[in-house]
Amino acid sequence: MSQAPSGPSKAFDPAAFEAVLFDLNGTFMFGHDRLGEDEDFHATWRAHGGVGLEPAEVHRAVMAVIRDLARRYADPAEYDRFPSVTDTLRSLPETRHLVPAEIERLAEVIACHEVGDVDELHAAALRRIASSHPIGVVSNIWSQKQRWLDCLRERGLLDLFATIVFSSDGPHIKPSPVIFEKACNALDIAPGRILFVGDDPLYDIAGASAIGMRNVLVGSAETDAIEPDWRMADIPSLAERFG
């Protein structure tokens, strides 16, 4: 499983860092973002007490939100003014006519399909790293954070994290420096003494690097012009280097 690090600095020394921050979705949480056209959003809506809307209406409403947020997510002008799911539901032509209770229900449907889970292999790796370094999360999520917190609690991980910063607390998303700085301030550690670990070259690696964090890119994403300090296969591979 272990993979030799690569990047401009070959030697990786955990002692060089006072803390480690992680992205979440795609880094140590998987099965997330089940937001495609083939999802049965109406079944989830019914499971949350929905009545009176046809499947096509629910599907059209959810997909309108997803398309709008995806467009904004790719636009650098939106990095520091990213809207919430509920605000988006209140503003779009397809959904703004709905009563407040229905807006909240649809927001919950989107959250159910956005959140993933943490397997025991990755949970064990996080515990191993946390045994020697304070750890935290800096993650872009669209929905409100409660389902992610519940998942971390259920997996026995929530208390491991010295800080958790979710973009849905608003209005900033990675790669904005603001969201990274929130975590640094919470830890009271300078960025240069923090290692950031994520799976996305732009939102994770470029964002962390811009404020002076060293970084590890996990997974197999193409980096193009964005070069991480190190590349590793996954979080368990990283944990092996923490002794």
The answer, yes or no, to whether residue 10 has pLDDT greater than 70, is no
The answer, yes or no, to whether residue 13 has pLDDT greater than 80, is yes
What's the mean per-residue pLDDT of the chain? Answer: 94
What's the confidence (pLDDT) of residue 225?
A: 80
Tell me the two tokens of residue 198.
């994520």
Q: What is the pLDDT of residues 206-238, one digit of tens each?
A: 999 999 999 999 998 887 788 999 999 999 999
Q: Any idea which residue has 């140590």 for tokens?
A: 28
Q: What is the pLDDT of residues 64-100, one digit of tens each?
A: 999 999 999 999 999 999 999 999 999 999 999 999 9
Query: In angstroms, what CA-CA distances link 92 with 11, 16, 51, 53, 70?
Result: 50, 48, 21, 17, 14
Question: Is the domain 14-32+117-240 a CATH 3.30.1330.10 member?
Answer: no
Rounded CA separation 202/209 (Å): 10
Query: In angstroms, what CA-CA distances link 42 with 15, 36, 163?
Result: 50, 13, 35
What mean pLDDT do residues 2-20 have?
71
From the centroid of its chain, how far is CA 217?
14
The pTM assigned to this predicted structure is 0.93
Rounded CA separation 72/54 (Å): 28
Domains of the chain: which residue ranges? 14-32+117-240, 41-114
What's the confidence (pLDDT) of residue 4?
A: 37
